[in-house]
Chain A
Amino acid sequence: QVQLVQSGAEVKKPGASVKVSCKASGYTFNEYNIQWVRQAPGQGLEWIGRINRNSGGTNYAQKFEGRVKMTRDTSINTVYMELRRLNYDDTAVYYCVRDRIAEVPAAMGYWGQGTLVIVSS
């Protein structure tokens, strides 16, 4: 079965960087896009960006351009999301998500368990 297992919670100081990993299993890794979505405490869902299945190219939400970097290691079926210059508003649960189907665009079919990132001085 499809599984996305994310790295554990992080506490970071303002201005620092965080790198969250997402290990995929149960499917052919290169056949599906992986997206990242975050959710601040008590708030809604916000799209951060995606890493494309074929090329490993990326698309980021304009809000995060210049501050986020998504990469992947196909040898271990893992995707990474690094967010730099953290501020208090970046405190959130970060989810990696796999498209439901390989055809794009597609609904978000499978979600990781989430990684809580707390930005605190």
Chain B
Amino acid sequence: DIVMTQSPDSLAVSLGERATINCKSSHSVLYTSNNKNYLAWYQQKPGQPPKLLIYWASTRESGVPDRFSGSGSGTDFTLTISSLQAEDVAVYYCQQYYSTPPAFGPGTKVGIK
């Protein structure tokens, strides 16, 4: 099974500043035949289900603000919030869907400094 890790566990960023979350998989999630990374990012606010932000490692879901961006390939990935807004306070999870069982990272809690 692929194991996902994230860093940091939590971070606090000033409004308008950049937030960066890292995600690592124990096995590459790059499918070489189509050159796609099977990696997604989700945002979860208290009392709500997770919301898909990014898929294929770097494609924003429809309606997601462009301050959210994903990058990376293979085993190392990053979610960046370019200018943190108050409504971005949440826990963020990465997830691989390259193989079964799909696996989530442990989450990174983002707050306001």
Contacts and interface: CB of A to CB of B under 8 A. Distances in A.
A32 interface: no
A49 to B, nearest CB: 8
Contacts of A102: none
Nearest to B59: A107
Interface stretch (B17-25, B71-79, B81-89, B90-98): B90-98
B103 to A, nearest CB: 7
A114 B49 contact: yes
What are the 4 A-B residue pairs with the smallest beta carbon separation, nearest first? A111-B49, A107-B55, A107-B40, A45-B104
A62 B55 CA distance: 26
B11 to A, nearest CB: 17
Given A105-B102, A107-B40, A44 B93 contact: yes
Contacts, number: 56
Query: Chain B interface secondary structure, helix, strand, loop or mixed?
Result: loop
Contacts of A105: 38, 97-100, 102
Nearest to B56: A107
Contacts of B50: 45, 95, 108, 111
20 contacts: A44-B93, A44-B106, A45-B104, A47-B102, A47-B103, A59-B100, A62-B101, A95-B50, A100-B61, A105-B38, A105-B98, A105-B100, A107-B56, A108-B42, A108-B50, A109-B52, A109-B55, A109-B61, A111-B49, A111-B51
Interface of B: 38, 40, 42, 49-52, 55-56, 61, 93, 95, 97-107
Interface of A: 35, 44-47, 59, 61-62, 95, 100, 105-109, 111-114
Given A95-B49, A100-B55, A108-B52, A47 B106 contact: no
